[in-house]
């Protein structure tokens, strides 16, 4: 059986959070399978990243340093990764569901003729019985993701050629703690690139600062369709400002045009784990709760006593948010 591989994204010598999350998940899967965790680190001037990857759980780091790999363009990256896949034959290959990952993973899957499941929200190892073809498989990767617009949760199994390939959204896997005492191996790779692989050049990069950082917010006040209108979201903003938090929303509120997509929490939005999550007018459908159920404290405000959100809330307030939220703001300011 091959090892579990993770493609590492980095910029300016800093490893992306999604890559560290995947390394931690890979460590969990590899321990269950009894194999190694191996990372693919491609770019230039990256030696400082290897210790970090090993501290988070990598046994081996394949390090390809070449000026032609910086900045990122898909063709040379795909060539280096494909050469390594053919040589070492990994069992599982994981990418972040990012702009880079979504470009690279399909190219590798297409050339290797193996399956690829996108935007996974959970991964686990289990046995699988193919009743149609009457075959049984052991220790397969269960690739779990929302399907049909998030209305169901599908479990997908790749019975094609290895590697079993997935992309995983940022924030859905928990990042463990680094352990500086961990030992690992760095294997330097010499990229075998042709002129055709480097035909694309990056002439200019234009970056814009991210205005919303829900992942880093410790307090989130989120609204759903039950808020009633775009104007009523001002109440949520007032509460968030009083608490020093951020405003978020469910997909229904975003689809209604009340809030921008960058503030959407859930399966088709951002996954968050704040210290406090206040859900206002949110029914609690699985599409939303999948993105916030790991918050340390959840307060739910809803005028429906049977709202599913109450089943996961630590504190439930059944009432009109237009009455409850002003009282919360007043009480907090009085205490402050």
Angle between helices 233-243 and 321-335 (to 10 degrees): 20
Can you give the pLDDT at residue 211?
77
Can you give the pLDDT at residue 146?
81
Six-digit token string for 101: 């990952």
**H/E segment holding residue 278:** strand 276-280
φ, ψ at 98 (rounded to 5°) = -115, 180
Task: Report the alpha-carbon distance of residue 270 to residue 279 in Å, rounded.
Answer: 15
Can you give the pLDDT at residue 150?
65
For residues 176, 137, 132 and 114, what is the CA-based torsion angle, rounded to 10 degrees?
60
CA separation, residue 53 to residues 14, 183, 276 (Å): 11, 10, 30
Which domains occur in the chain, in start order? 4-188 (3.40.50.620), 219-335 (3.40.50.1220)
Closest Cα partner for 313 from 302, 325, 323?
A: 302
pLDDT 10s digit of each residue in the chain, 336 long? 799 999 999 987 899 999 999 999 999 999 999 999 999 999 998 978 999 999 999 999 999 999 999 889 999 999 999 999 999 999 999 999 999 999 999 999 999 999 999 999 899 999 999 988 899 999 999 999 888 766 778 999 998 889 999 999 888 898 999 999 999 999 999 999 998 998 888 888 887 777 788 988 999 999 999 999 999 999 999 999 999 999 999 999 999 999 999 999 998 889 999 999 999 999 998 889 989 999 999 999 999 999 999 999 999 999 999 999 999 999 998 876
List of residues 6+ apart from 180 with CB closer than 8 A: 51, 55
Task: Report the alpha-carbon distance of residue 22 to residue 167 in Å, rounded.
Answer: 10
Task: Report the alpha-carbon distance of residue 269 to residue 261 in Å, rounded.
Answer: 8
Can you give the pLDDT at residue 336?
63
Can you give the pLDDT at residue 149?
65
């Amino acid at each position: 059986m091959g090892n579990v591989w993770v493609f590492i994204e980095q910029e300016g010598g800093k490893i992306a959070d999604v890559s560290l999350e995947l390394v931690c998940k890979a460590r969990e899967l590899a321990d269950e399978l009894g194999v190694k965790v191996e990372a693919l680190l491609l770019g230039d001037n990256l030696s400082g990243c290897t210790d970090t990857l090993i501290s988070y759980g990598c046994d081996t780091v394949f390090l390809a340093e070449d000026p032609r790999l910086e900045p990122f363009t898909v063709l040379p990256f795909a060539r280096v990764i494909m050469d390594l896949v053919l040589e070492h034959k990994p069992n599982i290959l994981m990418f972040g569901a990012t702009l880079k990952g979504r470009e690279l993973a399909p190219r590798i899957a297409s050339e290797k003729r193996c399956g690829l499941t996108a935007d996974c929200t959970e991964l686990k190892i289990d046995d699988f019985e193919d009743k149609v073809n009457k075959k049984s498989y052991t220790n397969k990767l269960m690739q779990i993701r929302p399907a049909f617009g998030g209305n169901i949760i599908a479990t997908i199994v790749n019975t094609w050629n290895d590697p079993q390939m997935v992309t995983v959204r940022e924030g859905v896997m928990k990042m463990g703690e680094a352990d500086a005492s961990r030992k690992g191996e760095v294997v330097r790779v010499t990229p075998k690139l042709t002129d055709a692989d480097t035909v694309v050049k990056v002439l200019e990069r234009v970056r814009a600062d991210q205005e919303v950082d829900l992942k880093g917010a410790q307090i989130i006040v989120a609204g759903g369709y039950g808020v009633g209108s775009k104007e009523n979201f001002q109440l949520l903003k007032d509460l968030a400002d009083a608490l020093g938090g951020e405003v978020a929303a469910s997909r229904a509120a975003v689809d209604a045009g009340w809030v921008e997509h960058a503030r959407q929490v859930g399966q088709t939005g951002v996954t968050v784990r704040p210290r406090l999550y206040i859900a206002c007018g949110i029914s609690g459908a699985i599409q939303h709760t999948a993105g916030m159920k790991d918050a340390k404290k959840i307060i739910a405000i809803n005028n429906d006593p049977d709202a599913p959100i109450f089943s996961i809330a630590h504190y439930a307030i059944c009432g009109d948010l237009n009455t409850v939220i002003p009282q919360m703001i007043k009480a907090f300011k009085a205490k402050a």
